[in-house]
Structure 1
Amino acid sequence: MSMRWTLPLLVALAACSTPEEPKAPAFTEVDPCTLLASGDAGQLNGSPTRTERACDFPFDSLTVRLTLLTAKYADESQKLLSDGGYGGVINDRPLTRKCVDTSGEVTCDAVVEVKEGQLIGLKVLQRNHDLNLVGQVTQGLAAKALERLPK
């Protein structure tokens, strides 16, 4: 085939190809600070702070540490269950949480499975005596983080 035909053929083929959709970032590339926002649990008092695979969010009345984990859900869940936590489901994904009241400050630890081997861990700390209320806030934050994960 002569050069005279090759170039127009290449141009025509390129024009017919459909552009590829940009791929969502891999789980290990997701910035954990993009998964929660002001308004999710009150207003943010300052900017979220990222360290490796975790992000600390300073909300009005509570603080949240969100961590993206590569681990087995059963192992991480068992740590919470063996210490008095309980399991549930959020957005069709398994979640385990455990809340403890220490002198008027409630700490809730939670883990939710994104897919096999990919987890979101949450630690919520709030001055409060109501374990159930802080637990519900923790589950709501887990749901927000799941919704914002790139598909």
Structure 2
Amino acid sequence: MVTIREARENDVEGLVDLVVRLKRLNSEFDPLFSARNDCAERTREYLISAIRDNKNHLVLVAEDAGKIVGILKADIRERLFYSPTIEGAIVDFYVMPEYRRKGLGRQILDKAIAILRERGAQLITAEFPTQNQIAINFYNKMGFRPLVNIYAKET
């Protein structure tokens, strides 16, 4: 049975692998998402910082018999110019392939939304590469809609 809970610092090593997998997957959608050589080290620092600052971040893990099989990281942001004013932005979300299409993603997302609401978020957003059709389909199914476009040009 899979358990979904907030991450602890001793989860970080197991989470690094999932986030690095996500970042490498993103490079398949666009070469501007090519993972850096120090991606694992940066991920470790990023996750430790987020877990320690649970006022501004949420890190959830999905765990099956002691093995971490999913992660969701969200940031709580103030929207300076718009209402609603507090946003819960899902910035990293990855479920191991063998656990997909079984409702786990929905369970993790539902738990994240509930916790983010408790922490003041009035709007939940999700960020992912534009060409990630799997994510587009998932979030559309969960009732999300497109909100902003970001365009890039290498210099």
- Which is greater in Rg? 1
TM-score bin (small chain): 0.3 to 0.5
TM-score (norm 1): 0.33
Q: Which one has the bigger strand percentage?
A: 1
Q: In proportion to residue count, which structure has more helix?
A: 2
